[in-house]
Structure 1
């Protein structure tokens, strides 16, 4: 239980820090000197909403990881082999996250062609990641690692499936931003909404990448020693 509390505290602390950096509770009319944000202007509602959503999603993944760490100590736990394709999929998600960060930079330079290229690249990498994850499921099922065969199998499909659903949801938002980028010249050059969409996508993809790296460490078996160290420290 102590590991559960620690993980929840970490996610809540990160969410609180991020929201604090958005100046949600600031009172610009009381500030003296140069203020970065014009008086009365607060972060966009969509940005605050994303922060709250990521905090909730982070807690959900933290609970799943905590349940995993407690369940793997049981005698009936037989870990799955980590398919090599997971390494390739991890690289794809890293490329997608990096592409969106690069695209966000191009938007600040008003390079619309670069923005379009980066969005398409991020979408292709992410879609390939989803296809790769489905291929991993098919490979494991072909080797007899079914959902109901073992608790380790169930946790693998649960956590990768949960992560995959978040990726698919992000793809929907990414498609909308991409369509907005390709139609930017036809809508009067409104680039502010496009920049905001890019920033939100970049934040979300960085979150997906961090969560996946943690899940990958669990699947590959690297996290067992870390959990044991945490138990000794928190006990």
Structure 2
């Protein structure tokens, strides 16, 4: 239960910071010298696509929070037997970090209107994401060869479910990233590309955060972190 509280608190903090950056609470009609058309959407400083992404991430975050809650409750039962995590998971985590950093680089390049840096960042980010998914499949194969199949233990089932669900969202992100990269190759205006790259980057950072929480859950690190926080606050 402590893991889900930590996850929700982290998501809420990031969501609050993100919303504060979007000027959702701004009242432009009260600002002197600013003409605002209240009949249209031009008074909004937040693109509809960005608001839609925020809603989608809130839904996905709730889904993973429920999964984390179920995992935490299931570990207390007598038939739960931990499975050894392959070391390749740490390499996959590093690759996902590289992918997220590459997309942040692409976003910075888009803001500088640097088309070369933009395409390099997108390609590295996409290639790293594909490598991450490939590494996750290799992890599955290693566990299967070692006898840790899905139906043999609840811990195994949860591991495959968690990694598959996260991998599915990474795959969906790759589709959006591919469309954005195609726009770059077609020579779309930089103003249009900037929003697409920003949405992909936000989504990628979210997936990285979710994966780090899930990895901490699978390794037991989140429980240790919560215990340390309790000791410091007591």
Q: TM-score, normalised by structure 1?
A: 0.87
Give the drift of 1:13. Answer: 5.1
Mapped to 1, the partners of 2:12 and 2:200 lie a distance apart of: 21
Supply the RMSD in Å over aligned alpha carbons: 2.4
Alignment correspondent of 1:202: 201
| Structure 2, gaps ≥5 residues long | 35-41
* Pick aligned residue for 2:73 from 70, 74, 77: 70
Inter-partner Cα distance in structure 2 for 1:155 and 1:29: 51
* Matching of residues 84-233 of structure 1 within 5 Å: 84-184=87-187, 187=188, 190-226=189-225
Of stretches 132-141 and 68-77 in structure 1, the one that deviates more from structure 2 is: 68-77
Q: Is the 8 A contact 1:19 1:48 kept in 2?
A: no
User: 1:152, CA displacement in angstroms?
Assistant: 0.5
Distance, in Å, in 1 between the alignment partners of 2:193 and 2:165 is: 28
**SS of the counterpart of 2:150?**
coil
Cα distance change, pair 6–210 in 1 and its aligned pair in 2 (3 A)? closer
Q: Distance in 2 between matches of 1:219 and 1:5?
A: 16
Gaps of 5+ in 1: none
Check the 8 A contact 1:177/1:197 in 2, yes or no.
yes
- Inter-partner Cα distance in structure 1 for 2:13 and 2:91: 32
Task: Name the counterpart of 2:39.
Answer: none
Instruction: Give the Cα separation in 2 of the matches to 1:56 and 1:114.
Output: 33
* Alpha-carbon distance in structure 2 between the residues aligned to 1:17 and 1:203: 13
* Secondary structure in 1 matching 2:147: coil
Q: SS of 1:148's equivalent?
A: helix
Q: Distance in 2 between matches of 1:60 and 1:231?
A: 26
Contact 2:98 2:128 (C-alpha < 8 Å) held by counterparts: yes
Q: Paired residue for 1:29?
A: 29
Rounded to whole Å, the distance in 2 between the matches of 1:122 and 1:182 is 16
1:11 aligns with 2:11: yes
Q: Which 4+ runs in 1 deviate beyond 6 A?
A: 229-233
- How far apart in 2 are the matches of 1:122 and 1:158? 25
Change (3 A) 1:232 1:58: farther
Q: CA deviation at 1:24?
A: 2.6
After superposition, the Cα gap between the structure-2 partners of 1:17 and 1:31, relative to the gap in structure 1 and judged at 3 Å, is same
